[in-house]
Amino acid sequence: MDLAYTTVGGVVGAAVTNYLSMNQERRQLRAAVMQQLLRVAAVRDRVGDIVPSRRESPPRYLVGERLLVTARFGVTAILEDGRDAEHAQREAISDLVVAALSAGIPRRVLDFAGGGEERALQCEVIRLIDQRLGGVLGVSLEELMAQCEEYRQATAQHLLRALWHPWQTRLRMRARLRALRQDVDALHRRQEAAMSVLARLEHTTALAERLGHLSDQDPQRSNNPGPEA
């Protein structure tokens, strides 16, 4: 009997220890995802300006190569500390992917979350271009920014649900992704409409003149933007 109690106690103790260890690991993995998600959001929040672009080709992102608004208008979005915003976002999303995959989040969920952040950065660049041009988009810009933020929040919430409620998320995955695809299609059309207005000859000419004037006034800022940019 003593041997039986000792054996049972050892098995129960090992099971409890294993359970507590797994819980601790899950908490750490979730904390890492949350930290990286905040880092990605911080990149978008710190976008400060646009300058003439010197890149020869658009960067590669989580969901592949895409013709971004920065490539279309020949500009580079910079952070408040002078770094390239797209490069900083790409690094932050890559770290988020590593943390999220380690936590067991499906790759399809990550693709939408990363894409939502990329769309948000593109919308921010559209806003900055429109600001340079004196607000030619009018109320349509407010509608674009609101729709973009709604989509970004929806993709982020989907990622968080997959993080905290993985089984519920898997059951509803197909329907939720279908809804997100419809949302991003509508957002894409609105972004294209805004860029079509900004791409009119009179507007691209004015943008080039104003960005060129900035370069002439402060060439060091254009070539190697610093914190004051």
What is the torsion angle, in degrees rounded to the nearest 10, for the CA atoms of residue 153, residue 154, residue 157 and residue 158? -150
Q: What per-residue confidence (pLDDT) applies to 27?
A: 83
Residue 43 resides in a domain: yes
CA separation for the pair 229, 48 (Å, rounded): 7
CA separation for the pair 105, 161 (Å, rounded): 10
Residue 22 resides in a domain: no
- By residue range, what is the domain housing residue 118? 28-223
Using one digit for the tens of pLDDT, what is the confidence trace for 161-197? Answer: 888 888 777 778 888 889 999 999 999 999 999 999 9
Given pLDDT bands bounded at 50, 70 and 90, which one contains residue 2?
A: low
Q: What per-residue confidence (pLDDT) applies to 170?
A: 78
Give me the mean pLDDT over the 4-27 stretch: 55
Residue 174 resides in a domain: yes
Q: What per-residue confidence (pLDDT) applies to 225?
A: 43
Query: Please, what is the average pLDDT of the chain?
Result: 81
Model pTM? Answer: 0.77
Contact in structure between 121 and 77 (CB atoms under 8 Å): yes
To 5 degrees, how large is the angle CA 129–CA 46–CA 120?
60
For residue 167, the tally of other CB atoms under 10 A from its CB is 7
